[in-house]
């Protein structure tokens, strides 16, 4: 047993609950890889031969839509690095079987497949902001939705200023492939009819982004870009709230402590909040001071320290908003693969509770269902 395992009792509880939920969502415990780690013979889509050897590795079967509201943590890694065990940021709210995607960092597309949500029936994407660790899979998602050929309804992409431009740029990527396949395969769908980008105003009080028969989505400006930066650019960052019949869920995206986010999150069932360990904050403050002394006052270290939330920041927002449950994601640092650095979830949970939040705190993992 590793140090990692010995410190996981709250996470283990969350994991077991997630496994049960995931099995309900997937309709089978054979659909997902981390369930497979509990029962190797029933691995994801895998058949075994008479000798017990793996024979084929098929795609996950699509379960029947389940009623209710679930959150699927597709990618929980924080920042632009690429990790073996965690995808970049992406989450899905699935309401009565209909998915809504929040952010689409590198690896999201694969996580959508592994979660059995898939990507062909995804019609709504919400970007918290346009840093590439939240957007990288968008061109691939759009292109493969078009190439899949079955999609008849448009994909609407919402996000802060710049989102429409980003979708237009991704459409250029889609268009070259579409030209070839239209000539060569007799396809008829114009990709520009399938993808629409929408710039959402960044406001201090919640603004309605979307309302349909399943969900109302509202947004506020979060505190990911400091005033010294917003004074020089039109880019902004957003946090989203999803209200369904059963639940209310807030995704902060990337943010430092924010009163806007507190207002958005008032009484929410799930407060899905980014976090960086206090040690990450301290190290980046020290590096930022060194950079400033060397003549660079606007360093990456300063960006990291000033525009993300420590566990204490998360706890203060959660307590003030009186949310029921905190779900930590966009983890800085994330756990390393076996043989790497030790990782204690108490780095995060103790800080959140120490700031006055008395409810449940869940440190998320990729493909966790809540």
Residue closer to Zn ion (CB basis): 276 or 352: 276
Q: Phi/psi at 360 (nearest 5 deg)?
A: -75, 140
Contact, 155 vs 145, CB < 8 A?
yes
Distance CA 123, CA 295 (A): 47
Q: How far is the CB of 335 from Zn ion (least distance, A)?
A: 17
Residue closer to Zn ion (CB basis): 86 or 131: 131
Distance CA 100, CA 125 (A): 6
Q: How far is the CB of 158 from Zn ion (least distance, A)?
A: 17
Distance CA 258, CA 248 (A): 19
Q: How far is the CB of 34 from Zn ion (least distance, A)?
A: 23
Site for Zn ion in 100-139 (CB under 5 A): 131, 133
Q: How far is the CB of 330 from Zn ion (least distance, A)?
A: 6
Q: How far is the CB of 302 from Zn ion (least distance, A)?
A: 14
Distance CA 79, CA 69 (A): 27
Residue 244: how many CA atoms within 13 Å on its side-chain side?
Answer: 20
Residue closer to Zn ion (CB basis): 32 or 256: 256
Q: How far is the CB of 288 from Zn ion (least distance, A)?
A: 17
Q: How far is the CB of 154 from Zn ion (least distance, A)?
A: 27
Query: Residues near 301 by Cβ (< 8 Å), separated by ≥ 6?
Result: 284, 285, 286, 287, 288, 291
Q: How far is the CB of 224 from Zn ion (least distance, A)?
A: 6
Query: Which residue(s) pair with 221 in the sheet?
Result: 238
Three-state secondary-structure class, residue 363: strand
- In this structure, are strands 98-102 and 124-126 parallel, antiparallel, or unpaired? parallel
The closest of 196, 4, 201 to 85, measured between CA atoms, is: 4
Region of 22-30, 254-262, 287-295, 351-359 interacting with Zn ion (CB under 5 A): 254-262
Residue closer to Zn ion (CB basis): 133 or 366: 133
Contact, 122 vs 112, CB < 8 A?
yes
Buried/exposed 208-217: b ≥16 CB within 10 Å, e otherwise = ebbeeebbeb
> What mask, x for binding Zn ion by CB under 5 A, covers residues 327 to 366?
----------------------------------------
Residue closer to Zn ion (CB basis): 221 or 254: 254
> What mask, x for binding Zn ion by CB under 5 A, covers residues 13 to 42?
------------------------------
Residue closer to Zn ion (CB basis): 329 or 343: 329
Return the structure tokens found at 280. 């990450």
Residue closer to Zn ion (CB basis): 131 or 236: 131
Instruction: Kindly state whether residue 254 participates in binding Zn ion, applying the rule CB under 5 A.
Output: yes
Q: How far is the CB of 188 from Zn ion (least distance, A)?
A: 38
Residue closer to Zn ion (CB basis): 271 or 329: 329
Cis peptide bond prior to 178, omega within 30° of 0: no
The closest of 286, 271, 282 to 319, measured between CA atoms, is: 271
Contact, 217 vs 209, CB < 8 A?
yes
> What mask, x for binding Zn ion by CB under 5 A, covers residues 279 to 298?
--------------------
Size of the site for Zn ion (CB under 5 A): 3
Site for Zn ion in 59-98 (CB under 5 A): none
Three-state secondary-structure class, residue 321: helix
> What mask, x for binding Zn ion by CB under 5 A, covers residues 206 to 245?
----------------------------------------
Residue closer to Zn ion (CB basis): 195 or 329: 329
Residues near Zn ion (CB under 5 A):
131, 133, 254
């Amino acid at each position: 047993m590793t140090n990692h395992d010995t410190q996981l009792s709250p996470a283990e509880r969350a994991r077991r609950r997630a496994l049960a939920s995931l099995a309900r969502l997937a309709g089978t415990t054979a659909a997902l890889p981390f369930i497979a780690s509990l029962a190797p013979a029933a691995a994801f889509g895998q058949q075994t031969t008479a000798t017990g050897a793996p024979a084929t590795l098929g795609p996950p079967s699509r379960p029947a839509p389940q009623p209710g509201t679930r959150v699927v943590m597709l990618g929980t890694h924080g920042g632009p690095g690429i990790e073996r065990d965690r995808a970049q940021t992406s989450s899905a709210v699935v309401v009565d079987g209909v998915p809504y995607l929040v952010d689409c960092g590198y690896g999201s597309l694969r996580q959508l497949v592994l979660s059995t949500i898939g990507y062909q029936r995804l019609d709504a994407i919400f970007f918290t902001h346009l840093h590439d660790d939240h957007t990288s899979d968008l061109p691939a998602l759009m292109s493969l939705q078009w190439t899949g050929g079955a999609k008849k309804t448009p994909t609407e992409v919402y996000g802060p200023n710049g989102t429409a431009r980003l979708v237009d740029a991704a459409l250029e990527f889609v268009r070259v492939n579409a030209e070839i396949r239209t000539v060569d395969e007799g396809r008829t769908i114009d990709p520009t009819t399938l993808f629409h980008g929408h710039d959402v105003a960044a406001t201090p009080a919640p603004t309605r982004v979307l309302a349909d028969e399943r969900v109302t989505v509202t947004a506020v400006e979060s505190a990911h870009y400091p005033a010294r930066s917003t004074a020089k650019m039109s880019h902004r960052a957003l946090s989203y709230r999803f209200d369904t019949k059963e639940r209310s869920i807030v995704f902060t995206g990337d943010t430092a402590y924010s009163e806007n986010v507190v207002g958005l999150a008032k009484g929410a069932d799930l407060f899905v909040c980014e976090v960086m360990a206090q040690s990450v904050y301290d190290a980046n403050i020290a590096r930022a001071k060194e950079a400033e002394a060397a003549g660079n006052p606007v360093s990456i270290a300063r960006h990291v320290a000033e525009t993300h939330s420590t566990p204490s920041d998360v706890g203060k927002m959660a307590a003030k908003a009186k949310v029921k449950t905190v779900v930590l994601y966009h983890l800085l640092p994330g756990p390393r693969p076996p043989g790497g650095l030790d990782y204690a979830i108490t780095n995060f949970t103790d800080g959140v509770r120490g700031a006055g939040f008395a409810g449940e705190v869940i440190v998320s993992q990729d493909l966790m269902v809540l």
